[in-house]
Amino acid sequence: MRIAIRRLLADRLAVASISFIAFVALVAILGYLITPDSTPFANNQHLQLATLKPGAKVKFLLVRKQHDVKQRNLIGRMLFGQESIYDEIPVDSIYIDGYKVYATEYNPIPESNAFVREFFLPEVLYGLDKDKKFLADGDTLIVFQNNGKETRVNLQDAKDELFRSRIIERRFWLGTDRFGRDLLSRLIIGARISLSVGFIAVAIALVIGILFGAIAGFSRGFVDDAIMWLVNVVWSVPTLLMVIALTMVIGKGFWQIFVAVGLTMWVDMARVVRGQVMSVREKEYVEAARVLGYSRWRTIFRHVLPNILAPVIIVSASNFSTAILLEAGLSFLGVGVQPPAPSWGTMIRDHYGYIIMGKAYLALIPGFAMMLLVLAFNLLGNSLRDALDPRE
């Protein structure tokens, strides 16, 4: 094993692939903690900001929501995101007159008339209801908050607070999609879905494939014939058609797609494991295990399977990239991960029409990310094959 690891680390393509996969995995794990849009599914929509170019800057007015927002802990925010306590309003300019705030909303068409929204200053800062729960006493605002608490605020201090913390400028590094959502945030959360599908699908394929393949290869006879008949039946059905059929049976959704992809990939693993088990079942150490009276299951799991791990690892790396492509294809067809959950396949489906509209990057960015990740797994699989080859 040490020799194989040294061979793997000596391969520059293998090291580059491992580094890229580790980087994508780290970004996917951190998820909402590092996304510019940390709302659940990165689904903060601003239709007036649709299809902004990469690097665009927009000014926002943050208006405190009138209802309380449940705050999650660090793990909860990392896994599920956090609803913002503010309503974010894209603006071009802001003007304050007394205790009123006039915000000119962001206008993507300069020639058209801009829409001006009016707020009360305490409404922006404290999220008060529309029924004027405040009094103006000269330069002092007496604010009656929703929880019944009375707060006295200097008018000038309130204005300074608004300009200091309620007006922000945000840059969209990869632009926005057709619904005005941050494309970078959607891309990061989409990476989490792709890697999750790969891990869970490969895990399901490993469990079922190793179990069936080991039993068939070690038992031979009727058991082998029955299992291989089942494998050939499943093998004869096109993979994409099988996955679509399974999603129709178990439903569309986040977890269903994991199970559906995993249940279609086990046949590859079963055939590989069966062939490897058949090649080692006649070895001397297997015969010794039989002579010592060890049970069939102990012989398989303690003595046979550990000696066939190399091809299993190689096939698993290949299945990982296959699972990512399957998930993207199903999401593109609309039977995979359902909106508003971001998926690279869904992002391509939503924006492939923009390729001929001068905004091809909306579809090319998720497609390029998927291509790099699949390429990394394929290169890693090839490097593992060379490193684990005992003839090298």
Mean pLDDT within 62-79: 89
Give yes or no for residue 41 having a pLDDT over 90: yes
| Model pLDDT, residue 306 | 81
| Model pLDDT, residue 360 | 93
pLDDT digits (tens, 9 = 90+) for 310-322: 888 888 888 889 8
| Model pLDDT, residue 111 | 66
- Contact in structure between 343 and 327 (CB atoms under 8 Å): yes
| Model pLDDT, residue 137 | 61
Distance (Å, whole) CA 247 – CA 259? 9
Give yes or no for residue 225 having a pLDDT over 80: yes
Mean pLDDT within 59-67: 89
| Model pLDDT, residue 62 | 94
Which residue, chain included where needed, has tokens 């994508």? 24
Domain with CATH 1.10.3720.10 in the chain: 2-25+183-387
Tokens representing 103?
A: 């915000």
Mean pLDDT of all residues in the chain?
86
Q: How confident is the model at residue 57 (pLDDT cuts 50, 70, 90)?
A: very high
Give the rounded distance of the alpha carbon of 63 from its chain centre.
29
Give yes or no for residue 383 having a pLDDT over 70: yes
Q: Which residues contact 338 (CB under 8 A, 6 or more apart)?
A: 252, 253, 254
Residue 30: HSE in the Cβ half-sphere, 13 Å Cα cutoff: 11
| Strand 116-120 relative to strand 140-144, pairing | unpaired
Distance (Å, whole) CA 24 – CA 320? 14
| Model pLDDT, residue 1 | 66
Q: Domain 2-25+183-387 is in which class?
A: mainly alpha
Residue 28: HSE in the Cβ half-sphere, 13 Å Cα cutoff: 20
Q: What backbone torsions phi and psi does residue 302 show, to the nearest 5 degrees?
A: -100, -25
Give yes or no for residue 370 having a pLDDT over 90: yes
Distance (Å, whole) CA 274 – CA 215? 8
| Model pLDDT, residue 176 | 96
pLDDT digits (tens, 9 = 90+) for 127-185: 765 555 665 666 666 665 555 566 677 778 888 888 899 999 999 999 999 999 999 99
Distance (Å, whole) CA 360 – CA 343? 18
| Model pLDDT, residue 146 | 56
Closest CA to 209 of 225, 231, 226, 229: 231
Sheet hosting strand 140-144, strand order edge to edge: 134-137, 140-144, 150-154
Mean pLDDT within 85-92: 93
- Contact in structure between 213 and 277 (CB atoms under 8 Å): yes
Distance (Å, whole) CA 236 – CA 147? 65
| Model pLDDT, residue 51 | 93
Give yes or no for residue 17 having a pLDDT over 90: yes
pLDDT digits (tens, 9 = 90+) for 292-348: 777 778 888 887 888 888 888 888 888 889 889 988 988 898 888 888 889 999 999
Q: Is pLDDT larger for residue 135 or for residue 62? A: 62
DSSP string, 241-280: HHHHHHHHHH-SSHHHHHHHHHHHHHHHHHHHHHHHHHHH
% of the chain surpassing 90 pLDDT: 38
Residue ranges in the chain assigned as alpha helix (H): 2-10, 12-30, 74-80, 121-126, 155-165, 183-219, 221-236, 239-250, 254-280, 284-291, 296-298, 309-333, 344-351, 361-387
Tokens representing 249?
A: 């049976």
- Contact in structure between 32 and 81 (CB atoms under 8 Å): yes
Mean pLDDT within 29-38: 94
- Contact in structure between 7 and 386 (CB atoms under 8 Å): yes
Closest CA to 169 of 76, 94, 249, 113: 94
pTM over 0.85: yes
| Model pLDDT, residue 261 | 82
pLDDT digits (tens, 9 = 90+) for 118-127: 888 878 887 7
